[in-house]
Amino acid sequence: MRFGNHSSWKSLSSAVLSAVLLSAAPAIHAQTSTQTSAQSNQNDLTGYWDLRVPVGDGTYRETFFELQQHGQALTGRIFGRTPQGIPMQGTLTGSAIHLSTVPIPIGGGGTRPPMVFDGTFEGGKLSIESRNHAGQSTKGDAERSTREAAMPPAPLPLPAPRDLPDNGLVRTPPMGWNSWNKFAGRITDADIRSMADAMVSTGMDKLGYLYINIDDTWQLGRDAAGNITMNEKFPNMKALADYVHSKGLKIGIYSSPGPKTCAIYEGSFGHEDQDAKTYAAWGIDYLKYDLCGARAVYSLSEATERGLYQKMGEALERTKRPIVYSLCQYGDFDPWKWGAKTSGNLWRTTGDIEDKWKSMDKIGFSQLAIASYTRPGRWNDPDMLEIGNGGMNADEYRTHMSLWSMLSAPLIAGNDLRTMSDETKSILMNKEVIAVDQDPAAKPTQILAGGSGQPGTVETLWRPMQDGSIIIGIFNRGEQPTVAGFEWTSLPGGLAGKSRSARDLWTHQAVPVDGAKFASTIPAHGVTLLRIH
């Protein structure tokens, strides 16, 4: 059995970064080694060291050091942010070891606070307490290692490019829930079960929310046969899938084409077929496949990324189980142009969303430029919803829900469904807005007016619906309430001057269509959303 481990050269998500003691970002070191035979000398620290800090779920986080000892003086590198590693220096006085990263300039004449390591070196064993840039500390033991162990593995061959057939799934944008935005690395089996319960008890399932998706940090490592194993937070994945299915819901899981995921848990690198089979045997219905760790192994290009996603796409296809395939590579190399060819059903179009107006506003409105790429079964994914997580106000969350729905974006809630306020429910469970998202025609949203693309402006968007009606969304991206509207004669979609009825999808009331103009007062960061027949 190999235990789950998290090595420092793999990529980390920004969310995880803040939690990781050593802030170990992608760190591939291609140095020429000065490793010596001092490994055999128990009193000499020279060589490679693997520091392991337990995470608390049966896995541990690994960081590699290379050290040289000259009497009491130590020099070396920690494999962190740069390919060459971050230089360190320190001392060994008796059994007391002290190391510190050398100051790194950060612009403006300042330097980055050092990472500091203090501990003991006794009987060939190194025990270390580490303090990161933010002053957070953790403890772990380091053992002798090798340069090879500290290096990312060699790339594996990728399949010859071919267009995979459409898997026929998610003809309307997928709806459900995902663990990452609220729980990150703390998600457990019990949370997933209670989230499935809440999906049903709130009635969200009846509105179309179907998938309960486990994001990163469920993995442990691999057994002797190479099968992926779960850490202590997930005792029995098959039983969990059965439970979620028993509620009439579907279950999703997460992996990476790299050796490690973004949170530095075990990825599917070299085990794609085996993992796809395992997911199918467990009864998994949805896979989010997140590039992260692959960036340390492959030099990335559109061809490489397509190859990596095609490889898992083919593995999923071979299982013959309907598994929604969600590509997560942050929009690099325009996946809206090729994601479907890897049998992808949805592809992230941007970096990670944060529960902040600025993040949601930037991500959401940047989607207008690529809105025309959506088709049934092929969805642009501007990332999961933050509604109910507390970082935005209700007007901002209504904008989030309205914009995502106008864009036919996946509606994957990211909040705690067990403790939702009535206001959060009224936003996530607005039937009339969900109907916009789920319109089977999936026609793209277009710009009617505004369209400067700049934060702070009013954007008026429209979208034709299958039944001949149109949706108009007037978004106030500014910091002050504003009065905005349109002339009835200017309506697109063949409705100019002919509209018979209009409905406000947030007040759930009819809007008078007489008079020359529609106008409403829109709060700062708010929206007026109309369906017009």
Catalytic residues: 290, 352
Comparison of 216 and 285: residue with beta carbon closer to ligand GLA: 216
Which string of x and - marks every residue 141-180 that binds ligand GLA (by CB under 6 A)?
A: ---------------------------------------x
- Kindly state whether residue 216 participates in binding ligand GLA, applying the rule CB under 6 A: yes
Please give the structure tokens belonging to residue 72. 């009491």
Which string of x and - marks every residue 344-373 that binds ligand GLA (by CB under 6 A)?
A: --------x---------------------
In angstroms, rounded to a whole number, what is the distance separating the alpha carbons of residues 10 and 130? 19
Contact stretch for ligand GLA (CB under 6 A) within 23-31, 39-47, 221-229, 255-263: 255-263
- Kindly state whether residue 379 participates in binding ligand GLA, applying the rule CB under 6 A: no
In angstroms, rounded to a whole number, what is the distance separating the alpha carbons of residues 348 and 335? 8
Q: Token match 């829930």: residue?
A: 177
- Kindly state whether residue 332 participates in binding ligand GLA, applying the rule CB under 6 A: no
Residues 429-488 that bind ligand GLA (CB under 6 A): none
Minimum gap (Å) between residue 32 Cβ and ligand GLA: 32
If we measure between CA atoms, which residue out of 59, 349, 347 comes closest to residue 185?
59
**Whole-Å CA distances, 17 to 25, 133, 271, 341:** 7, 11, 26, 32
- Kindly state whether residue 215 participates in binding ligand GLA, applying the rule CB under 6 A: yes
What is the H or E stretch that residue 142 is in?
A: strand 137-145
C-alpha torsion angle, residues 436, 441, 443, 445 (rounded to 10): 0
- Kindly state whether residue 262 participates in binding ligand GLA, applying the rule CB under 6 A: yes
**273 secondary structure, DSSP code:** H
Using CB under 6 A, count the residues that bind ligand GLA.
Answer: 11
Minimum gap (Å) between residue 511 Cβ and ligand GLA: 37
- Kindly state whether residue 289 participates in binding ligand GLA, applying the rule CB under 6 A: no
Contact stretch for ligand GLA (CB under 6 A) within 2-10, 90-98, 258-266, 372-380: 258-266
Give the HSE-up count for residue 189: Cα atoms under 13 Å, Cβ half-sphere.
16
Comparison of 290 and 355: residue with beta carbon closer to ligand GLA: 290
Minimum gap (Å) between residue 285 Cβ and ligand GLA: 17
509, amino acid identity:
Q
Minimum gap (Å) between residue 331 Cβ and ligand GLA: 10
Q: Which residue number places its CB atom closest to ligand GLA?
A: 13
Minimum gap (Å) between residue 412 Cβ and ligand GLA: 10
Please calculate the CA angle 267-269-271 and round it to the nearest 5 degrees.
95
Contact 349, 381 (CB under 8 A): yes
Contact stretch for ligand GLA (CB under 6 A) within 120-128, 260-268, 495-503, 523-531: 260-268
**Whole-Å CA distances, 347 to 338, 373, 377:** 10, 11, 11
- Kindly state whether residue 263 participates in binding ligand GLA, applying the rule CB under 6 A: yes
In angstroms, rounded to a whole number, what is the distance separating the alpha carbons of residues 125 and 127? 7
Contact 289, 255 (CB under 8 A): yes
Comparison of 205 and 290: residue with beta carbon closer to ligand GLA: 290
In angstroms, rounded to a whole number, what is the distance separating the alpha carbons of residues 99 and 63? 14
Comparison of 6 and 378: residue with beta carbon closer to ligand GLA: 6
Minimum gap (Å) between residue 201 Cβ and ligand GLA: 26
- Kindly state whether residue 328 participates in binding ligand GLA, applying the rule CB under 6 A: yes
**486 secondary structure, DSSP code:** E
DSSP calls for 167-223: ----SS--EEEESHHHHGGG--HHHHHHHHHHHHHTTGGGGT--EEE--SS-EEEE-
Q: Which of 50, 290, 305, 386 binds ligand GLA (CB under 6 A)?
A: 290
- Kindly state whether residue 16 participates in binding ligand GLA, applying the rule CB under 6 A: yes
Comparison of 216 and 439: residue with beta carbon closer to ligand GLA: 216
Q: Which residues bind ligand GLA (CB under 6 A)?
A: 13, 16, 180, 215-216, 261-263, 290, 328, 352
